[in-house]
Structure 1
Amino acid sequence: MAPREDTTAVGLRRQYKYKGNIWADSLGRTAIRSAQVLLILTVAVVVIYALLQIRLLVIPVLIALILAAAIGPFVNMLRRRGWRGGLATGVAFLALLVLLAGVITIIVVSVRSQWDELIGQAAAGLDELENFLLTGPFPLDREQLDQARASVVEFAQSSQVRSGAVTGLSVVAEFLAGASLMIVILFFFLKDGAKIWDFFLRPFKGPREQKLRRVGKRTMEVLGGYVRGTAVVALVDTVAIGAVLLILQVPLAIPLAIIVFIGAFIPLVGATVAGVLAALVALVANGPIVALIVVAVVIAVNQLEGDLLQPIVMGKSLQLHALVILMALTAGTILAGIIGAVLAVPLAAVAWAIVQVWTAEDPDLEPMNPDLPPPNSQPT
Structure 2
Amino acid sequence: MPWWNEKQTYRILFITFLLGLAAYFLYLIRGLFLPFILAIVLVYLLNPIVDRMERRGTSRVAAILILYLGVVIIVTSVLMYGIPRMINQLESLGQAIPAYTDQVEGMVQSIQQRFADSALPPGLQQILNERIRWGEAKLMEIARKAADLLLALVGNLINFALAPVLAFYIMKDLQPIKKRGASLVPPRCYNDVCRLAKEIDHVIACFVRGHLTVVVIVGILSGAAFALVGLEFAAMLGVIAGLAELIPYFGPLIGAVPAVALALLESKWLALKVIVAVFIIQQLEGSIISPRILGNSMGLHPLTIIVALLAGGHLFGIAGMLLAVPLVAVARIGIGFVWEKLN
| TM-score, scaled to structure 2 | 0.72
SS at match of 1:257: helix
1:150 alignment counterpart: 137
Aligned to 1:141: 128
Q: Would you say the 8 A contact 1:333–1:341 is kept in 2? A: yes
Task: Give how far 1:295 is off.
Answer: 1.8
Contact 1:70 1:227 in 2 (8 A): yes
Say whether the 8 Å CA contact 2:226–2:277 is kept in structure 1. Answer: no
3-state secondary structure, aligned to 1:201: helix
What does the per-residue CA deviation read over 1:232-251, in whole Å, with 9 as the maximum and x for residues that have no partner?
A: 32233234333332232122
Q: Which residue pairs with 2:4 in the alignment?
A: none
Correspondence for 1:308 among 281, 288, 297: 288
Who is 1:59 aligned against? 34
CA contact (8 A) 1:317 1:349 kept: no
Deviation (angstroms), 1:187: 0.8
Match of 1:318 in 2: 298
Match of residue 92 from structure 2: 117
Counterpart for residue 70 of structure 2: 95
Write the distance in 1 (CA, Å) between the matches of 2:107 and 2:188: 61
- Give the equivalent residue in structure 2 for 1:288: 268
Q: Are the aligned partners of 1:124 and 1:284 in contact in 2 as well (CA < 8 Å)?
A: no
- Give the letter for the 1:298 counterpart: V
Give TM-score scaled by structure 1 length: 0.66
**Aligned counterparts, 1:227-266, within 5 A:** 227-266=208-247
Moved more, 273-282 or 255-264: 255-264
Identify if the C-alpha distance between structure 1 residues 209 and 95 changes in structure 2 by more than 3 Å, giving closer, same or farther.
farther
1:117-266 maps to which residues of 2 (within 5 A)? Answer: 117-118=92-93, 120=97, 123=101, 126-127=104-105, 130=108, 141-150=128-137, 172=154, 175-266=156-247
Distance 1:128 1:83, change over 3 A: farther
Structure ranking higher on relative contact order (CA contacts 8 Å, 6+ apart): 1
The offset of 1:68, in angstroms, is: 0.8
- Partner of 1:75 in structure 2? 50
- Aligned in 2, Cα 1:290/1:333: closer, same or farther, shift over 3 Å? same
Query: Shift of residue 78 of structure 1?
Result: 0.9
Provide the aligned length of Structure 1 versus Structure 2: 309
* Structure 1 pair 51–307 and aligned structure 2 pair: CA distance change class (3 A): farther
- Give 1:319 deviation, angstroms: 2.7
Rate the CA distance shift 1:253–1:181 in 2: closer, same or farther, 3 A. Answer: closer
Instruction: Point out the structure with max Rg over C-alpha.
Output: 1
Instruction: Return the offset for 1:95.
Output: 3.4
Distance 1:93 1:317, change over 3 A: farther
Amino acid of the structure 1 residue aligned with 2:269: I
One-letter amino acid of the structure 2 residue matched with residue 229 of structure 1:
G
CA 1:307/1:95 → structure 2, altered by over 3 Å: closer, same or farther? same
Pairwise CA distance, 1:127:
4.8
Counterpart amino acid of residue 196 in structure 1: I
Q: How far apart in 1 are the matches of 2:92 and 2:173? A: 47
Deviation at 1:325, TM superposition (A): 3.7
Once residues 167 and 185 of structure 1 are traced to their aligned partners in structure 2, the CA distance between those partners, rounded to angstroms, is 24
Residue type of the alignment partner of 1:351: A
1:193 CA displacement: 1.9
- How far apart, CA to CA, are the structure 2 residues paired with 1:105 and 1:267? 31
Partner of 2:13: none
Q: Distance in 2 between matches of 1:264 and 1:207?
A: 42
**In 1: Cα distance, 2:149 partner to 2:225 partner:** 37
- Which whole-Å CA distance do the structure 1 matches of 2:195 and 2:141 have between them? 46
From the superposition, tell whether residues 101 and 64 of structure 1 become closer, same or farther in structure 2 (CA, over 3 Å): farther
In 2, the alpha carbon distance for the partners of 1:222 and 1:257 equals: 27
Q: Return the offset for 1:229.
A: 1.8
Q: Kindly state the Cα deviation for residue 196 of structure 1 after the two structures are TM-superposed.
A: 1.6
| Secondary structure of the structure 2 residue equivalent to 1:57 | helix
CA deviation vs aligned residue, 1:70-101 (integer Å, no higher than 9, x gap): 22211121122122222223323443454455
Q: Which residue of 1 aligns with 2:277?
A: 297
Which of 325, 342, 349 is residue 329 of structure 2 equivalent to? 349
Q: Deviations over 1:275-309 (max 9, x none)?
A: 21111221122x11220231233234224323432
Unaligned runs of 5+ in 2: 1-18
AA of the residue aligned to 2:41: I
Offset of residue 151 of structure 1: 5.3
